Structure 1
Amino acid sequence: MTRIIADISMSLDGYVTGPDPGPNNGLGTGGDALHTWAFSDDPDDLRVLREGTARSGAVVLGRRLFDVVDGPGGWDDTVGYGAGEVGAPPFVVVTGSPPTTVRLTALDWTFVSTGLADAVAAARGRAEAASRERGEDLDVVLMGGGATIGSALAARLVEVLSLHLAPVILGAGTPLFTDGAPRALVQRSVTATTTATHLVYDVG
């Protein structure tokens, strides 16, 4: 069964970027520390990364994150979705204004301008089609940014929340959780490594 999984790295004080993020500074000042685990040699970090990437049937991201990954300093043949595994799944971008050009033309991009719910629905369709083709369950992964995942949580579009808690305090940046209704989560797993604590919750 295809699940909708929000998957993101976060600081101990709740930020998914450092201060002053932008197209040329995607993770903000000090934000690179959030993703140290994704480039780690720790066996548990590698397992978390590979298992998450392997189950990705489609990936949803917001326009600001797209501008970062598709920008001149963004993804390339060595850095992309899943760190060393550049984007095998299709990518669905929620945006009010699709770009006129795309740098990463080898990747499968779909731009949805009718809202986040429609973007998630489009991604679910792609993931379910891939599941049938491969004969295994594949998921939709919301990779960010923080505002996109926050909006998806608020709209109750997310079924599983996968957090990679980095041992860093950023002090400012893009918060994952802002004002919203209280939510009860069911903890499913905790994996502690030298670079992160990987937490998985079912979202009620």
Structure 2
Amino acid sequence: MSKLRVNCFTISLDGYGAGPDQSLNNPLGVGGENLHKWMIKTRSFHQMIGKEGGTTDTDDEFAVRSFENVGAWILGRNMFAPSRGEWPDDSWKGWWGPNPPYHVPTFVLTNHKRAPIEMEGGTTFYFVTDGIRSALEQAKAAANGNDVRVGGGVSTVRQYLEESLIHEMHLAISPVLLGSGENLFAGLDMVKLGYRCTEQVATANALHVTIGRV
């Protein structure tokens, strides 16, 4: 059965998935880049950005697992563009350049219509204006029996958690404090929503925790 998953979603020790004051020049917010030190050294990340090398350790194993059996993605608008409101033009086609790392149909949540964008490597961005459940229905249909992965950001993951729609969530808890920004769990009662911890593995750079629905 197709699952809705979150993988390699990094948060700080105090629960923030992004720092404050996100912008085009600082897309992860102040201090947010420090969250991802565990990932950027891995072979998987190096391959994503077209570089050789990288580690093949436990951190990389979680990164490899994150791409297995994924047939579609769902992203919040922040994960696609820095702009807000109406689309200023059609020139912006995502953070990743002409060949994004998704390689499958990718559904972007937004309040503003935009035509689909076909990219290199099999990624096509579709823009969904009628909510998270519509995006999930479309993504499941496009995934053709494979899983759907929610890529973020924090607000998007929270919306799916609030509806108990996420089946499995892998978090990488980075040993840093951000103090402010976007908090993943603020106001959410994960126990009442039906979730529990199913796996935990510590490395030098992160505590990997998997949370599943009971």
Seen in structure 2, the aligned counterparts of structure 1 residues 145 and 177 have a Cα distance that, compared at 3 Å, is same
Cα distance in 2 for partners of 1:117, 1:201 equals 21
Is the CA contact 1:191–1:197 (under 8 Å) kept in the aligned structure 2?
yes
Which ranges of structure 2 fall in alignment gaps of 5 or more residues? 42-54, 84-90
Residue 87 (1) aligns with residue 88 (2): no
RMSD over equivalenced CA pairs, Å: 2.5
Give the secondary structure class of the aligned counterpart of 2:80: helix
Is the CA contact 1:152–1:158 (under 8 Å) kept in the aligned structure 2?
yes
Residue 196 (1) aligns with residue 206 (2): yes
Letter in 2 for 1:9: T
Sequence identity percentage: 29
Report the equivalent of 2:86.
none
Residue 172 (1) aligns with residue 180 (2): yes
Give the secondary structure class of the aligned counterpart of 2:142: helix
Instruction: List, as ranges, runs of 4+ consecutive aligned residues in structure 1 with deviation greater than 6 Å.
Output: none
Aligned length: 189
Residue 76 (1) aligns with residue 97 (2): yes
Cα distance in 1 for partners of 2:137, 2:119 equals 23
Deviation at 1:121, TM superposition (A): 1.4
Cα distance in 1 for partners of 2:15, 2:76 equals 19
Deviation at 1:64, TM superposition (A): 1.9
Aligned pair partner of 2:111 in 96, 109, 120: 96
Residue 109 (1) aligns with residue 113 (2): no
Is the CA contact 1:117–1:157 (under 8 Å) kept in the aligned structure 2?
no
Cα distance in 2 for partners of 1:155, 1:17 equals 22
Seen in structure 2, the aligned counterparts of structure 1 residues 200 and 182 have a Cα distance that, compared at 3 Å, is closer
Cα distance in 2 for partners of 1:25, 1:51 equals 28
Is the CA contact 1:42–1:193 (under 8 Å) kept in the aligned structure 2?
no
Deviation at 1:173, TM superposition (A): 0.9
Which ranges of structure 1 fall in alignment gaps of 5 or more residues? 81-85, 132-137
Give the secondary structure class of the aligned counterpart of 1:67: coil
Seen in structure 2, the aligned counterparts of structure 1 residues 71 and 190 have a Cα distance that, compared at 3 Å, is farther
Report the equivalent of 1:145.
153
Seen in structure 2, the aligned counterparts of structure 1 residues 73 and 100 have a Cα distance that, compared at 3 Å, is closer
Seen in structure 2, the aligned counterparts of structure 1 residues 99 and 36 have a Cα distance that, compared at 3 Å, is farther
Letter in 1 for 2:163: A
Is the CA contact 1:150–1:178 (under 8 Å) kept in the aligned structure 2?
no
Seen in structure 2, the aligned counterparts of structure 1 residues 180 and 200 have a Cα distance that, compared at 3 Å, is closer
Give the secondary structure class of the aligned counterpart of 1:124: helix
Is the CA contact 2:74–2:139 (under 8 Å) kept in the aligned structure 1?
yes
Is the CA contact 2:98–2:119 (under 8 Å) kept in the aligned structure 1?
no
Deviation at 1:114, TM superposition (A): 0.7
Residue 32 (1) aligns with residue 33 (2): yes
Letter in 2 for 1:75: W
Letter in 2 for 1:91: T
Letter in 2 for 1:159: H
